[in-house]
Amino acid sequence: MDAFMRSFPLEDIRVRAGGDGRTVEAYAAVFDTPSEITDQDGHYLEVIDRRAFDRTLQQLAPAGSRSTWRVGVFYNHGRTLWGTPSERGSMPIGTPVEVRADNRGLLTVTRYNRTELADEVLENIREGAITGQSFTGRFTRSDPGRTPRAGWRPDGSGKLKTVKRQEIALKEYGPTPFPAYPDAAVVGVRAEQLAVLLGQMPDEERERLALMLRTGTPLETPAEGDPEGPPATGDPAPAGPAAEDPPSRHSVRQKIAWAKTRAEIKARRAL
């Protein structure tokens, strides 16, 4: 299956007391907690099973003559704020000391390297400027096992389908600058696909999308008649100066979906 990315707010991310202050404890995932997702599989609720990482942890853990974990630790997945590859960020910022599943989620204990980037990230964690952590990997087993061709969609009553991730292959994890979204939803993206789409977006649109992800600030709605704007809801268009204000009915998730759709349209037109 395609690579994916998940980001979680970390209210309890902390630098371990004692020692030299370079060991960070944080959860990379939370178990048995429904999270609202909008990604290439559609719009649905996702639950990570508490045994989802068992197999991958056995495969990645130190064994035999190998004393290190076979999982990388990168800031923002080795990418820039716009989702493009970062040469500086491609270097690991830390070394896993322990990765284990407990009653709450996937707990990571990471020893941060003595590099300029690692020092900057560590300082931002201490100051509370970085409060999120995310991971990438692959879903190898889910229930339901097959995604509809058109993706998951709410039913007639608006209820979302619940998809349980039963087995996940972990690739890497690390701190992310993106905080929790205002409505507490977790927005999932296919890492490889979105990186390509972001690379094809104009600089201005990438900057606006990044600002929205960091702060929850609404994007401006397109001018009236823009065929690539968010779908109409049937509400009458406001008149006067208020017409320029972003409608509150467009949620953060809708705006992200809209931005991704616009990028896909532009990519198809470029072919």
Q: Which of 76, 72, 95 is nearest to 86 (CA)?
A: 76
pLDDT above 60 for 231: no
How confident is residue 243, by pLDDT bands cut at 50, 70 and 90? very low
pLDDT-derived band of residue 79, with 50, 70 and 90 as boundaries?
Answer: confident
pTM: 0.65
Measured distance CA(27)–CA(9) in Å, rounded: 9
Q: What is the sign of the dihedral through the CA atoms of 34, 39, 43 and 44?
A: negative
pLDDT reported for residue 138 = 93
Range with the poorest average pLDDT among 13-17, 174-178, 264-268 = 264-268
pLDDT of residue 249: 40
What's the farthest any 2 CA atoms get from each other in the chain? Answer: 72
Contact indicator for 128, 13 with CB cutoff of 8 Å:
no
Mean of all residue pLDDT scores within the chain = 76
Sheet holding 14-15, edge to edge: 14-15, 23-30, 105-112, 94-101
Q: Residues 162, 49: contact at Cβ < 8 Å?
A: no
- The answer on pLDDT for 62 being more than 90 is yes
Is it the case that residue 123 has pLDDT exceeding 90? Answer: yes
More confident call, 231 vs 146: 146
pLDDT, average across residues 17-25: 83
Q: Which residues contact 18 (CB under 8 A, 6 or more apart)?
A: none
One-letter amino acid at 41 equals D
Dist CA 179 CA 13 (whole Å): 12
Instruction: Give residue-wise pLDDT tens across range 143-188.
Output: 999 999 999 999 999 999 999 999 999 999 988 876 533 332 333 4
